[in-house]
Structure 1
Amino acid sequence: MSGYKDIHEYLDDFEDIPGTRVYTAARARQGYHLNQFAMSLMKPENRDRWKADERAYLDEWPMTEEQKQAVLDRDYNRLLDLGGNIYFLSKVFSTDGLSFVQAVSTMTGMSVEDYQAMMNAGGRSPKGVRSKREGN
């Protein structure tokens, strides 16, 4: 059967999309505790504990040290690589007082204004690098 790929080849293709992290089952498993931590910030008492001592609060969760450090650094791109789901991570930046647009613009290296203008104009152009492996 021409063009057939096994599941591993199929899933590997998701890692070839420049600037995109596809939230796969593997990422969901990897980020389970990270995402549970983020969702815990929906409760005011947990937000208060988090704001009082971020490190102590993180240490209550069975996350990797790399995940914890990425949270402390507010490195949202790294958190996505480590299994974070952007909708769960929004609880972290909301707790910091950031809007979705403000937080996501930091992930693109663009100013809030430039990011918002790009999105209002229809988003990123489909032209450009379409494959990390092929560089095109």
Structure 2
Amino acid sequence: MDEKPEQDRIPDTPLFDRKRSLDGYRINKMAMGLSKPENREAFRQDESAYLDRFGLTPEEKEAVMTRNWREMVRLGGNLFFILKISAVDPVRITEIGAHQAGMEHDDFLRNRLGKKV
């Protein structure tokens, strides 16, 4: 039932389906916690300890701590939730988009958004 027909798939794009949602529970719960100022401060003070509070796997912790946005999504992170991380150490959404697309930021702005850089 979760399987999509081949024509509905987007190449190199992890689909946020039921399985991925369940797999990403820990990372999404952690990211949603960053909605609270006291959690953002705990994250800033000791990121590893904050992540441990949510039982993240070593793979999930590595993705968060290296700000590997693409990997966070592959591991089940919902982009709307993991964007909360960018509120802690400000990252422009276009930088995240460039990382997701595997592009340099200026190339992303020029090629995907039609911006003059």
TM-score, scaled relative to structure 1: 0.73
**Which moves more between the two structures, 29-38 or 64-73?**
64-73
The amino acid across from 1:56 in the alignment is A
Q: Secondary structure at the match of 1:62?
A: coil
Q: Work out the CA distance in 2 between the residues paired with 1:92 and 1:12.
A: 33
Q: Which has the larger radius of gyration?
A: 1
Runs of 4+ in 1 over 3 A off after TM superposition: 11-14
Asked whether the equivalents of residues 27 and 77 of structure 2 are also in contact (C-alpha less than 8 Å), the reply is yes
Question: Which residue in 2 is equivalent to 1:63?
Answer: 56
Shift of 1:83: 0.6
Give the superposed CA RMSD: 2.1
Q: Give the direction of change, closer, same or farther, for the CA distance of 1:47–1:12 in structure 2 (3 Å limit).
A: farther
Q: 1:58-112: CA deviations, max 9, x gaps?
A: 0100222211121112111111111111111111123211111112212323222
Q: Which of 64, 79, 85 is the equivalent residue of 1:86?
A: 79
Q: 1:20-67: CA deviations, max 9, x gaps?
A: 111001111110121010111111111111000000000100222211
The amino acid across from 1:110 in the alignment is M
Question: Which residue in 2 is equivalent to 1:37?
Answer: 30
Q: Which of 58, 67, 75 is the equivalent residue of 2:68?
A: 75
**Which moves more between the two structures, 25-34 or 69-78?**
69-78
Q: Secondary structure at the match of 1:74?
A: coil
Mind listing any 5+ residue stretches in structure 1 that lack a counterpart? Answer: 1-6, 122-136
**Equivalences, count:** 114
State the percentage of identical aligned residues: 33
Shift of 1:115: 0.8
Q: Work out the CA distance in 1 between the residues paired with 2:98 and 2:41.
A: 26
Asked whether the equivalents of residues 70 and 99 of structure 2 are also in contact (C-alpha less than 8 Å), the reply is no
TM-score, scaled relative to structure 2: 0.84
Mind listing any 5+ residue stretches in structure 2 that lack a counterpart? Answer: none
Shift of 1:12: 7.5
